[in-house]
Chains A and B, each alone.
Chain A
Amino acid sequence: DTAVSQTPKYLVTQMGNDKSIKCEQNLGHDTMYWYKQDSKKFLKIMFSYNNKELIINETVPNRFSPKSPDKAHLNLHINSLELGDSAVYFCASSQQHNEQFFGPGTRLTVL
Chain B
Amino acid sequence: AQSVTQLGSHVSVSEGALVLLRCNYSSSVPPYLFWYVQYPNQGLQLLLKYTTGATLVKGINGFEAEFKKSETSFHLTKPSAHMSDAAEYFCAVTRGTGGFKTIFGAGTRLFVKA
Contact = CB atoms under 8 A, between A and B. Distances in A.
Given A90-B43, A104-B42, A97 B104 contact: no
Contacts, number: 56
B44 A56 contact: no
Contacts of A105: 41-43
Which range contains the number of A residues in contact with the other chain? 20 to 34
A96 B104 contact: no
B82 interface: no
B14 to A, nearest CB: 23
B45 A102 contact: yes
Contact of A97 (B36, B94, B109): B94
A31 to B, nearest CB: 6
Interface in B56-97: 88, 90, 94-96
Interface stretch (A14-22, A41-49, A64-72, A73-81): A41-49
Name B's interface SS: strand
B49 A48 contact: no
A75 to B, nearest CB: 17
A39 to B, nearest CB: 12
A62 B96 CA distance: 31
Interface in B29-62: 32, 34, 36, 38, 41-46, 49
A98 B49 CA distance: 9
A7 interface: no
Given A98-B32, A102-B45, 11 more contacts: A41-B38, A41-B106, A41-B109, A43-B90, A48-B101, A90-B44, A97-B100, A97-B102, A100-B44, A102-B43, A104-B42
Interface of A: 4, 31, 40-43, 45, 48, 50, 55-56, 90, 92, 94, 96-105
Closest 3 CB pairs of A and B: A102-B43, A102-B44, A43-B104
